[in-house]
Amino acid sequence: MKSIETQVVTETRIACDGGGDPSGHPRVFLNLGKDGHAECPYCGKKFVLKEGAAAGAH
């Protein structure tokens, strides 16, 4: 079983496609919440806004 990945990002709108391997999924765009976090509804990958980056910025 593949472990759930957490990716640190610098923007509050990101895209996830599951990584492009056989377990990939359709590309979805996610907006990080005011808390600076989002989770892909398909693969569960977690996205966290980098410390110092402005939440709400695009």
Strands in 6-9's sheet, in edge-to-edge order, are 6-9, 46-49, 37-39
d(CA 34, CA 56): 7
**19 pLDDT tier (thresholds 50, 70, 90):** confident
Residue 41 has pLDDT above 80, yes or no: yes
pLDDT at 6: 94
Domain ranges of the chain: 6-49
| Cα torsion angle, 41, 47, 48, 49, sign | negative
CATH value of 6-49 in 2.60.260.40, 2.160.10.10, 1.10.3720.10, 2.40.50.100 = 2.60.260.40
Mean pLDDT, range 36-43, rounded to an integer: 95
Give pLDDT, residue 44.
93
